[in-house]
Structure 1
Amino acid sequence: MYKILTFNQIAVVGLERFPRDRFEIASEFASPDAILLRSHKLAAEEISPSVKAIGRAGAGTNNIPVGHCTERGIPVFNSPGANANAVKELVIAGLSLGSRGILPGIEYVKSLGDMQDGAELSKLLEKEKKRFKGNELSGKTLGIVGLGAIGSMIARAALDLGMSVIGYDPALSVDAAWRLPSSVQRMENISSLFARADYITLHLPVLDSTRGLVNADLLANCKPSACLLNFAREEIVDVAAVESALDSGKLRQFITDFPTPNLIARTGGDVILMPHIGASTDEAEDNCAVMASEQLVDFLENGNIRNSVNFPALYLERSGAARLAISNRNVPKILSSVLDILADADINIHDMLNKSREEIAYNLIDLDAKPDTALLDKIRGLDGVVNVRLIA
């Protein structure tokens, strides 16, 4: 039985993906085989020596000590794209709120609760509605920074609204490029995108290269009428630089899912703040839980890796009598040493696959016979091998 330790409340539809005859799920385990969580800030000391994998029911993994996990040979899985539609819909709502006087209009109507004469109310609204006049999105240019699952969905929706769409993503994958509508114009640099766009929406992970990416220098390129939206991660934006751009009239409006005390204190309607609700839909939570759970099951039972943020993607159909899953430092001759040990034990290799990602390498080796404990310990003793798992 595999033991799955959960933090946070995981959607039931996701937990149901663990076959109950082979998996136990609980919020307390002394020696779990895997951890499944959402937003819980996981500390390194919470990851017991028995943990083989960690699944995040969501896209971001900044609440997980990924570097520590890599050192221990623990793949960290996330759920990219599972909440994409939820974020896309909120961004479209943000675009509408940033183009029309919807929120001040609603607040104005609420202030008229004492009026009892319907005819008088209608006359007043007709007179005052010009105060809330806005602009249409059709014909405007949307700049999308980050063209992955969410960015590509927003691009399609914006095109349907009649907007022109430009995009920037220096790390665009082949799969993401295929998802992207052909009418989206790729920009060679982010400064040009900021200079051309009427609306700019951010969809990037938090990396060393993206932390504080939107700073004073970048915002200096904006049109004075530009509106910036951040539904990605708080750390991508230098909020002080945004405030300065708003104060100087270099930026018209900032719409974000990540309020700060300074932003909340602003008056004048140049910020719209939401309470971290980008992925807060029943559907998104279900999708993330299902994806994370299925990935953990496939890894624990077969060693396959899909959507890991620190290990290479690797899938191998099962064959042979037993499977070895081996993590090692990405240095020469380790795999050859493993194969020599197997050959010396007269164990034939039925199939194998090896891939690497930065400093870590991962191997699946299907064998015609099940190795004994002594042979496994011999492999574990090789310099550079991080961990060895036998999957019978």
Structure 2
Amino acid sequence: MPKVVISEFMDEAAIAAEFGGFETLYDPGLVDRPDDLTAALAGADALVVRNRTQVRGALLAAAPDLKVVGRLGVGLDNIDLAACGERGIAVYPATGANDVAVAEYVIGTAMLLLRGAYGATAAVAAGTWPRDALMGREISGKRLGLVGFGAIARETAHRALALGMEVSAHDPLLPADDPAWRTGSGTVARAENLAALVARSDVLSLHVPLTPETRGMIDAGILARMPAGAVLINAARGEVVDVAAVAEALRGRHLGGAALDVFPQEPLDAASGAPLRDLPNLILTPHIAGVTQESNVRVSRVTAQAVRRHLSEG
């Protein structure tokens, strides 16, 4: 009987439907108890994780029988793919299952940051009626720049075009004649380089994996190229952005707003979060852009099916 260990939260209906007949240990708190996780992996055939479980080094060594890793999401920077490949361990991300959730997060936070009126509840309830201070901006007619143009960025572009935005993207891996540049809602302009994209983006949204090339790519120099009052959204990976530079650009009012869902250190603690306190028009969320009730069901089902299929066929 195959043994499956699940170290982070997952839809329990998917576990019941796909792992029936398997020895299954579902404990979403295992990620925070490394000794217990190491012990649980003895004899495990499969491990299912989100982004916090680091599938590398000592953890892989503790799982000599491991055959497959299921990733409840699409980013793979927490998994040592080379080490898994050397041992013949298959890795299955939930490709496509949370695209809509992230795209809606990007559009939603862009509208929130541009309008700037939705944090006024306390002031209105107190009777100050701050109308003059809350004249925000419409999303229609604004220029959206997408850094990377994979599946999630394309979902974002589809929604942005429908809202009347102009959309451009920079993706050096996507040829100019790829049909992806023409969506059902319109055409996405192809920016030749990052600097050109940034210079004309009222809203800049990041959609790249963490690689040596993307690490720190949004730095003080790039932020300075953005139009005054522009908005930055990062729901990709925290290390892609120089967070201190973002804080400084917000504090100096060059950036008109920012939404950060991912961080170089997760979870943030009081010390690492301190530079981000009391900044104007900043939204911080705990790596939740791709997690909705609906996407959790899809991601869990796709991942569980891939793991079960691999174990059954093996």
Deviation, 1:173, is 8.2
Is 1:18 aligned with 2:39? no
Match of 1:68 among 50, 75, 83: 83
Which residue of structure 2 lines up, in the alignment, with residue 96 of structure 1?
A: 111
Deviation, 1:29, is 5.3
CA distance change for structure 1 residues 20 and 248 in 2, over 3 Å: closer, same or farther?
closer
Match of 2:278 among 262, 266, 271: 266
Is contact 2:181-2:190 (8 Å) kept?
A: no
Deviation, 1:159, is 0.8
Is 1:54 aligned with 2:54? no
Deviation, 1:283, is 1.2
Is contact 2:146-2:170 (8 Å) kept?
A: yes
Is 1:154 aligned with 2:117? no
Match of 2:312 among 297, 301, 307: 301
Is contact 1:17-1:294 (8 Å) kept?
A: no
Is contact 2:199-2:225 (8 Å) kept?
A: yes
CA distance change for structure 1 residues 111 and 41 in 2, over 3 Å: closer, same or farther?
farther
Show the 5 A alignment for 1:17-166. 17-18=17-18, 20-21=20-21, 23-27=22-26, 28=40, 30-38=42-50, 39-47=52-60, 48-112=63-127, 125=129, 128-166=130-168
Which residue of structure 2 lines up, in the alignment, with residue 189 of structure 1?
A: 193
Show the 5 A alignment for 1:229-240. 229-240=233-244
* Aligned mates of 2:310, 2:175 — CA distance in 1: 24
* Aligned mates of 2:41, 2:247 — CA distance in 1: 46
Match of 2:232 among 224, 228, 247: 228
What's the Cα RMSD here? 2.4
Which residue of structure 2 lines up, in the alignment, with residue 215 of structure 1?
A: 219
Give a deviation string over 1:253-307, Cα, whole Å, max 9, x none. Answer: 222113652443234x2422223221231111111111111112232333xxxxx
Give the residue type in structure 2 aligned to 1:164. E
* Aligned mates of 2:41, 2:285 — CA distance in 1: 36
Give the residue type in structure 2 aligned to 1:288. V
Is contact 1:228-1:254 (8 Å) kept?
A: yes
Deviation, 1:248, is 4.2
Is 1:255 aligned with 2:262? no
Which residue of structure 1 lines up, in the alignment, with residue 34 of structure 2?
A: none
Question: How many matched pairs?
Answer: 287
CA distance change for structure 1 residues 18 and 215 in 2, over 3 Å: closer, same or farther?
same
Give a deviation string over 1:95-129, Cα, whole Å, max 9, x none. Answer: 111111223322322434xxxxxxxxxxx64xx31
Show the 5 A alignment for 1:294-333. 294-302=305-313
Tell me the TM-score normalized by structure 1. Answer: 0.67
Other structure's SS at 2:119 match = helix
Deviation, 1:73, is 2.4
Larger gyration radius, structure 1 or structure 2: 1
* Aligned mates of 2:181, 2:151 — CA distance in 1: 8
Show the 5 A alignment for 1:242-391. 242-258=246-262, 260-267=272-279, 269-302=280-313, 391=314
- Where structure 2 has 5 or more consecutive residues not aligned to the other structure, the ranges are 27-39, 264-271
Greater than 6 Å deviation, 4+ residue runs? none
Tell me the TM-score normalized by structure 2. Answer: 0.83
CA distance change for structure 1 residues 140 and 9 in 2, over 3 Å: closer, same or farther?
closer
Give a deviation string over 1:316-356, Cα, whole Å, max 9, x none. Answer: xxxxxxxxxxxxxxxxxxxxxxxxxxxxxxxxxxxxxxxxx
- Where structure 1 has 5 or more consecutive residues not aligned to the other structure, the ranges are 113-123, 303-390
Other structure's SS at 2:187 match = coil
Deviation, 1:215, is 1.1
Is contact 2:181-2:188 (8 Å) kept?
A: no
Query: More displaced, 196-205 or 180-189?
Result: 180-189
Which residue of structure 1 lines up, in the alignment, with residue 8 of structure 2?
A: 8
* Aligned mates of 2:158, 2:218 — CA distance in 1: 24
Which residue of structure 2 lines up, in the alignment, with residue 340 of structure 1?
A: none
Which residue of structure 1 lines up, in the alignment, with residue 36 of structure 2?
A: none
Other structure's SS at 1:200 match = strand
* Aligned mates of 2:119, 2:225 — CA distance in 1: 28
Give the residue type in structure 2 aligned to 1:103. Y
* Aligned mates of 2:196, 2:6 — CA distance in 1: 44
Other structure's SS at 1:138 match = coil
Query: More displaced, 229-238 or 42-51?
Result: 42-51
